[in-house]
Chains A and B, each alone.
Chain A
Amino acid sequence: MIKNFLKITWRNLNKNRMSSFINVGGLALGMTVTILIGLWLKDELDYDKSFDNYERLGQVYGHVTTNGKIYTGRAMPIPMSTELRSRYGRNFKHISMASWMENHILSSGDIHVGRKGFFMEPEAPGMFSLKMLRGSQNGLEKPNDLMLSESAAKALFGDADPITKQVKLDNKDLVTITGVFRDFPENSSFKGVDFLASWQLYVASEPWIQNAQDSWDENSFQVFAEIADNTTFEKVNASIRNAKQDHVSDEQKNQEFRTIVHPMRDWHLRSNWENGVLANGQDQYLWMFGVIGFFVLVLACINFMNLSTARSERRAKEVGIRKTVGSERRAIILQFLCESVFVALVAFLLSVLLVNIALPWFNEVAGKAVTVPWGEPVFWLSGLVLSILTGLLAGSYPALYMSAFDPASVLKGAFKAGRAAAIPRQVLVVLQFAVSVTLIIGTSVVYKQILHTKDRPTGYDRDRLVMIEMRSPDFYGKLDILDNALKKEGAIEYMSESSSPMNGVHSNNGGFGWEGKDPNLTAVFGTIWVTNDYGRSIGWELVAGRDFSKDFGADSAGVIVNEAAVKYMGMEDPVGKVVTWGGNRTYHIVGVVKDVVMSSPFEPVRQVAYFLDQENVNFMNFKLSARMPVSESLAILERTFKTVMPGVPFDYQFADQAYAEKFVLEERVGKLAFFFTFLAIIISCLGLFGLASFTAEQRTKEIGIRKIVGASAFTIWRLLSVDFLVLTLVACTVAIPVSYFLMHRWLQKYTYRATVGWELFGGAVVLALLITVVTVSYQALKAAATNPVKSLRTE
């Protein structure tokens, strides 16, 4: 019997090519979206699962309650690890200190490469289950041990075995390669970690780190942990709660420190802390795209339902006949469901092809390296389940509708679906367009928010501004040499050094004081150390006072603050006033600058203090000359670097690029939303097109008669289009409040946000109407242009 059903299905598909194309194509597009989103979701949910002990790994975080607000951070002091090992040891299997994941220079002979890596303790390689290609996981025992990733090893040594070979780290320390591990996968928090070096080496490398070994105040490191087998994160967190609190200095006693281990399973999707609790993180996008994927599939199913029921008159006779030869209703329902499942399976095969075509592009937009697991039975099984579910969903309404036909009336040939029969179809079209319009509005809001934020004044000039990280001792003490050489060649206008790059504030400090400060307030400022020409090289805007200058000898006792700081301190006339820091040091405010957006462009700028210092700096900033092409300036820069500092790779970043990277997540969301919206519209249009062609066909006789009695082509066009336009308008009235609600909520997470005005909704409505008119008009005009004699003869 199934064979008989399939035969009929196939012949029907073949016979009505147009509607088959719309049905199969629409479902395939819908399934393509679902599969892409499914692969993306799986990739996101599998994040960090490549670590063997995924479920038990975590990172030590601290919640600090200051001025009634809870701030959360993962910067830890070195004694934290000793404390956790000694006093709370039974909670943990492994603990390792770690540096930040930073760029360092690895050199082998003449090859210098800049690679990211960690300095960690000997337990780390085992704890993070490094997949060793050469050597063992015990490769960090000695201070001069270093383990390389496969790709870094290849870059430094080609195909040769690097074990026991020596490498120079930051042109300073000679280290020995003890192991090669497989690169961390794309969806890993350690993606791009190309080496692990010894923590002992790190401590020995800088005096301040040596001094930090016993200091509970030097929160400049990370602590990773693997909890013991017999416990849970909840138990551990209850136990270690006061690990830091017990050691804070007296002046910090008015703050509360709570120590926790943040589980690895939450790192990627849930690491956004707001006032001590996990707020919406990446996982909200999982939901968002999951819902979009579902709705796009529903849209495609609606198409199927609409076209199937609209064309049901053609199948009515068959239903009647089948019933008179003894078919029960159940068997007819079964038949139509078989048909839709079959169509869904065909659509699935097509969508697999489409996914394959779209995947490289999708990966680029989504910033992923998702692959289709062709070889895995799970994938095909899921596909089969998806097809069957889609088929059942799409086929459900048509099957119920058509199987209810009364054989006597359909066989009399009198069967014409009345106006009432069109109502469910109209509801479905409204639903379809409501979803599409919601997506249009949603995507527009995302883009508006991005554009709005991009338009925000940043308080400095990103144009021709180049940053270079000072990654080894080679860089230090070269400011004047470089400055003179580059200015002489006309490559730059200004050069400066600073402790933070343009795209981040790397240090925040407490202990600030000023006249009139509330004694209970723990004043925390972003602190940035800069050289004289910093302001001139980044082009900040002074609103009061003056910039740092060599002409004033005592500027090391001066400080420049931003407007946010003035507001924070509540000063009336700040220039000349005194700020104290760390109890005894006093600084005079020499100038006030407009807020410089260094952290998130979506957030207000926090208070920052700029100090003059030649030593405590980590970045070089170059303002390239406007009188020379950028490429030429860069060439001079590189040449000068090679002369002044041979042995360091010339790695630079443009400030405007660094700034643009702050929008990566939002832009990614925008692009994906745009893509899915586009497909949703295409699917809806396919359905509308099919429905319009059906209506036109059904009303052929009416149109013929109207033309004979003198209706113009325009009247005919209006006759056929107006119904659909009304439906679109109804859909818009549904979509506007829904999208307003959703997008209003989404925008709440940005402090600096765009206002969503009526013009945006109006635009979406106009767009939806336009799409409808264009889609429907083809059929309407075709009907209007048909010779009435011809159409009437066919009746």
Chain B
Amino acid sequence: MIELKKISKWFPVNGARSYVLRHIDLTVKPGEFLSIMGPSGSGKSTLLNVIGMLDRFDEGEYLFQGEEVSKLKEKQVSALYKQYIGFVFQAYHLIDELTVYENIETPLLYKNVKSGERKAIVADLLDRFNIVGKKDLFPTQLSGGQQQLVGIARALAGHPGLLLADEPTGNLNSKQGEEIMEVFTQLNKDGVTIIQVTHSEKNAAYGNRTIHLLDGWLQG
């Protein structure tokens, strides 16, 4: 499903190249739960962004479901986000001016899902993450763990096949973190491919494969 071949990314610094990713070869199959680990600045978030097509790469080839990503137009990328990819962020990134309910509903609006169906999907997600009581609250009125649950619920609203999570538990205490990881495990069991970036060995262990990055190089 995901095939990276010799992917490199750099920034120009004073005429020289400062590499963030070097010759990354990586294949991710459907149904995997991959953890990307590495110290700060090792390039793991950048790698996730490249996989999520949020960042461009400078060299190499990236095939997503057999299609060359570098040739995708903005519209096609948007379509992938709508139908196939869900994002979960360390800083949750909820829209502050929308309620919990409205935040989860947003992707469905872009998918042109009918109102009745939207209600059903959002209600289902609220129920699943046990946040029905919070649906009319604004993000700032929630705890970090609750916000992240909303973030995951939003990512799942469009029924994605691939969930990309950038340190999803980074801002949470350990108990909240465990809950989130349990959710991920369950999702993976349900068939969702997950790629997460994490600092924590413990969290990485929830996945079924772990890769390590150091200074942009894929280790071992």
Contacts and interface: CB of A to CB of B under 8 A. Distances in A.
A478 interface: no
Given A4-B109, A322-B106, A408-B54, A327 B93 contact: no
Interface stretch (A5-13, A26-34, A378-386): A5-13
Interface string A317-339: 11011111111110100000000
A325 B97 contact: no
A325 B75 contact: no
B49 A408 contact: yes
Interface in B136-157: 154-155
Contacts of A322: 95, 106, 110
B91 interface: yes
Contacts of A331: 110
B87 interface: yes
B93 A323 contact: no
A469 B82 CA distance: 86
Contact of A327 (B89, B102, B110, B155): B110
A329 B74 contact: yes
A357 interface: no
A331 B109 CA distance: 11
A325 B81 contact: yes
B130 interface: no
A327 B54 CA distance: 13
A7 B111 CA distance: 19
Contacts of B83: 326
Contacts of A550: none
Interface of B: 45, 49, 52, 54-55, 74-75, 78-79, 81-83, 87, 89, 91, 93-98, 102, 105-107, 109-111, 154-155, 158
Nearest to B164: A324
A331 B97 CA distance: 18
B95 A326 contact: no
A12 B138 CA distance: 13
Contacts of A8: 95, 97-98
B98 A411 contact: no
Interface in A1-39: 1, 4, 7-8, 11-12, 15
Contact of B93 (A326, A406, A411): A411
Contacts of A321: 93-95, 106
B103 to A, nearest CB: 9
A553 interface: no
25 contacts: A1-B109, A4-B98, A4-B105, A4-B109, A7-B97, A7-B98, A7-B102, A12-B97, A321-B94, A322-B110, A324-B93, A325-B87, A325-B110, A325-B154, A325-B155, A326-B107, A326-B110, A327-B78, A328-B74, A328-B110, A331-B110, A411-B54, A411-B91, A411-B93, A412-B45
A12 B54 CA distance: 27
Given A327-B110, A408-B49, A411-B89, 18 more contacts: A4-B105, A7-B98, A7-B102, A8-B98, A11-B98, A15-B97, A317-B95, A318-B97, A320-B93, A322-B106, A323-B78, A324-B52, A324-B54, A325-B82, A325-B154, A326-B78, A326-B82, A412-B45
Nearest to A331: B110
State the main secondary structure of chain A at its contact with B: helix
Contacts of A408: 49, 54-55
Contact of B158 (A15, A325, A406, A411): A325
A331 B158 CA distance: 17
Contacts of B45: 412
A473 to B, nearest CB: 83
The residue among A325, A327, A413 with the most chain B CB atoms within 10 A of its own CB is A325
A89 interface: no
Nearest to A324: B87
A15 B54 CA distance: 30
A411 B46 CA distance: 12
Contacts of A406: 54
A535 B98 CA distance: 84
A407 interface: yes
Contacts of A412: 45
A324 B81 contact: yes
A426 to B, nearest CB: 28
B76 to A, nearest CB: 10
Contact of A328 (B78, B93, B96): B78
Contacts of B74: 328-329
Contacts of B110: 1, 322, 325-328, 331
Nearest to A8: B97
B112 to A, nearest CB: 8
A407 B54 CA distance: 7
Residue of B87, B109, B111 most packed against chain A (CB within 10 A): B109
A328 B102 CA distance: 19
A331 B89 CA distance: 23
B196 to A, nearest CB: 16
B101 to A, nearest CB: 11
A11 B78 CA distance: 26
B28 to A, nearest CB: 19
A484 to B, nearest CB: 88
A698 to B, nearest CB: 19
A326 B89 contact: no
Nearest to A10: B97
Nearest to B112: A1
Contacts of B102: 4, 7
Given A326-B78, A327-B78, A327-B110, A318 B54 contact: no
B5 to A, nearest CB: 21
10 pairs of A and B residues whose beta carbons are closest in the complex: A326-B82, A408-B54, A326-B81, A325-B107, A11-B97, A328-B78, A326-B110, A324-B87, A1-B109, A408-B55
A3 B89 CA distance: 26
Interface in A297-327: 317-318, 320-327
